Copies of this chain bind each other. A is one copy, B any other.
Amino acid sequence: MKLDKKAQDLLFRHARTATVFQDTSVPEEQIQAIYDLVKHGPTSMNQQPLRAVLVRSTEARERLVRHMFDNNKPKTLAAPLSIILAADLEFHQKLPELFPAVPHAKEMFSEPAIRTASATMNTAIQLGYFIVGVRAAGLAAAPMSGFDPKTLNAEFFPDGRLAAVAVMNVGIPADGSPAHPRLPRLAYEDVFTTV
């Protein structure tokens, strides 16, 4: 590996999904720095469908928590910052600027089902980069899929353009969080085959 061991540990080996965070806020500049790094990660035809809502006000936080599963409510209320990561289902409108090499790129996604599938897939890839970026900033990411996407989307994205893919708490992990040992990972042989 070309990446040094310290960086490997920071991004993957020592990084954990925290459940409790220190009471230290995450400034906007830090999120900007993270985005400024991970925006370079590739997406299909440079689609970049990821959109994000930083949930900061007490009122917005309470609105968010109503749509989370019960086990995610208290930790989301207590986290320094929660982010809704969503797919822009109209990402194709920007393709003439973002992927000028293919002039008909926008028209390739005129079918809503194809567009939604591509938006969701590429948002998830960008979510992977974003989780790595949060860790690169020295913070812990706690991504969650335990929420009701239907009611959350109706609440935050009433015009139907965005669709939530994950909600993520972000901050400096409290000492010893998470308390449980890392969950098992699949062996290489269970994942890879060669033909």
Contact = CB atoms under 8 A, between A and B. Distances in A.
Interface of A: 1-4, 7-8, 10-13, 15, 17, 28, 31-42, 44-46, 48, 50-57, 60, 94, 97-99, 101, 118, 120-122, 124-129, 131-132, 135-138, 141, 143, 145, 156, 165, 180, 182-186, 188, 191-195
Nearest to A189: B32
Contact of A191 (B17, B35, B101): B35
Contacts of A122: 124
A195 B60 contact: yes
Q: Which of A33, A57, A128 has the most CB of B within 10 A?
A: A128
Contacts of A1: 33-34, 37, 136-138
Contacts of A51: 191-193
A194 to B, nearest CB: 4
A192 B52 CA distance: 5
Contacts of A35: 188, 191-192
A100 to B, nearest CB: 8
Contacts of A60: 195
A195 B54 contact: yes
Which 10 A-B residue pairings sit nearest by Cβ, starting from the closest?
A: A128-B128, A2-B138, A124-B124, A3-B136, A60-B195, A44-B145, A7-B7, A12-B40, A39-B185, A54-B194
Nearest to A46: B183
Contact of A136 (B8, B129, B137): B8
Contact of A128 (B98, B129, B138, B156): B129
A142 B186 CA distance: 25
A105 B191 CA distance: 21
